[in-house]
Amino acid sequence: MAAAVHKLLHPHRSRDQEKEEENERQKSATEHARDEEKHTLAQWGEKKAPLEPGQIDKHPDQKMVGHSSSVLRKDDFELIKTLGTGTFARVWLVRVKNATDGDENQVFALKILRKTDVIRLKQVEHVRNERNVLAAIAGHPFITTMVASFQDHDSLYMLLDYCPGGEVFSYLRRARRFNEPTSQFYAAEIVLILEFLHQREGVAYRDLKPENILIDAEGHLKLVDFGFAKKVENRETYTLCGTPEYLAPEVIRNTGHGTAVDWWAFGILVYEFLVGQPPFWDQNPMKIYEQIVEGRVRFPSAMSAEARDLISGLCTVDTSKRLGNISGGASTVKSHAWFKDIDWDALYHRKVQGPIVPHLRGPADTRNFDEYEPESIHREAYTKDMQEKYEDSFKDF
């Protein structure tokens, strides 16, 4: 039946047939490689051991995670539930299909991007950055691990570890705001992430906000969505991106920006943790931007002096005075009085208990994620023209 439909849909039968035969020949070898790869994935999923910074730096081919897979396919995964949607991507909770014994319970998050949408929304460069950055940093304890990436004719796939705790955003909105110890714990894990991204990888993340921070099964953070992350190293970059309330003044003024934008956004984040909403807001986004470039942060009277001092240091318009960007980098943030109770080494090694450890019924529990609208049936075809023009950009995916 499937073959008959196939025939109807594909009048150029002879060519297809040739292809199929060729496929048959390669199939057994590929099948074997796929099964092996699936088993490896599942094994990684079992342990999820974080790597030391020195191990993360290895080439993706030399560590267990972060490589581009030529054998994995969408069919290898059963799509269970949508975990999140973006303008050109959808993230699914997936289970490994036809897994070997003992591996069938391993779940992952699969981010699926349609090539046509990526092209239409001019995000080709961003998507490439995202994959490459995630590959380079796979293994960090507080960053989503890209286990593997792969692609097919019209889509790109990133297989990520699943964080069953859901978004910090949801907890924050439910709580309205976090108390100081909770804010300090989460903020401190973010500091470790930024320290690593900036000082070890030369990467600016560029979209810090509670929506992009997940809580894993053990109550630690995972930073997700590296769509705007970019290896900037020592050069400034100019493309405006981020989230309105979190944009740094230099991004708005287009004077060139670098990793310092993450320290600005980090200040906004700490403020939002403690207050329940970011410091600069207006219904009219232009008014938000006007407030941001003016940079006058006002604090609720109940906020502690240390917290005010930290936020003022981070949300400093002049990047040459901004905490985190000045001499000493992240260490100036780590040694700030607001973080005086943090044992940074224990924190990196996940030895500090987080304030929320999600209650879960097994590893595939999705109770901490919201319901999303089903995917629209309408899909633009990935045309030959597009393929000719862009396929090369996706070749390493």
Extract the annotated binding site for ATP.
Answer: 111
8 A C-beta contact, residue 147 and residue 160: yes
Closest approach, Cβ 63 to other proteins, in A, equals: 20
Binders of other proteins among 247-276, rule CB under 8 A? Answer: 252-256, 275-276
If you ran DSSP here, which 8-state letter would residue 249 be given? Answer: H
Among residues 2, 3, 8, 302, the one that binds other proteins under rule CB under 8 A: 302
- If one asks whether residue 290 binds other proteins (CB under 8 A), the answer comes out as yes
Among residues 142, 150, 358, 382, the one that binds other proteins under rule CB under 8 A: 358
From 59-67, 69-77, 96-104, 370-378, span contacting other proteins (CB under 8 A): 370-378
Binders of other proteins among 112-131, rule CB under 8 A? Answer: 122-123, 125-126
Residue 385: active-site member:
no
Tell me which H or E stretch contains 77: strand 77-85
Beta bridge partners of 68: 149
Rounded distance, CA 106 to CA 366, Å?
A: 14
Query: Rounded to whole angstroms, what are the CA distances from 352 to 181, 286, 306?
Result: 12, 41, 22
User: Annotated binding residues, as ranges?
Assistant: 111
Task: Out of 117, 161, 207, 225, pick the active-site residue.
Answer: 207
Among residues 179, 304, 335, 383, the one that binds other proteins under rule CB under 8 A: 179
Closest approach, Cβ 315 to other proteins, in A, equals: 11
Q: What residue type is assigned to position 56 of the chain? A: I
Among residues 80, 217, 352, 386, the one that binds other proteins under rule CB under 8 A: 217
Among residues 58, 114, 177, 200, the one that binds other proteins under rule CB under 8 A: 177
- How many C-alpha atoms does 105 have within 13 Å on its Cβ side? 6
Which of 189, 157, 193, 191 lies closest to 354 in space, CA to CA? 189
Closest approach, Cβ 146 to other proteins, in A, equals: 19
8 A C-beta contact, residue 231 and residue 132: yes
- If one asks whether residue 44 binds other proteins (CB under 8 A), the answer comes out as no
Backbone torsions φ then ψ of 104, nearest 5 degrees: -70, -15
Binders of other proteins among 128-167, rule CB under 8 A? Answer: none
Quote the Cα angle for 39-135-356, to 5°: 80
- If one asks whether residue 219 binds other proteins (CB under 8 A), the answer comes out as yes
- If one asks whether residue 174 binds other proteins (CB under 8 A), the answer comes out as yes
Binders of other proteins among 223-242, rule CB under 8 A? Answer: 227-228, 233-236, 238-242
- If one asks whether residue 340 binds other proteins (CB under 8 A), the answer comes out as no
Residue 76 CA to its chain's centroid (Å): 22
Binders of other proteins among 315-334, rule CB under 8 A? Answer: 318-321, 326-328
Rounded distance, CA 127 to CA 203, Å?
A: 15
8 A C-beta contact, residue 329 and residue 191: no
Catalytic residues: 207
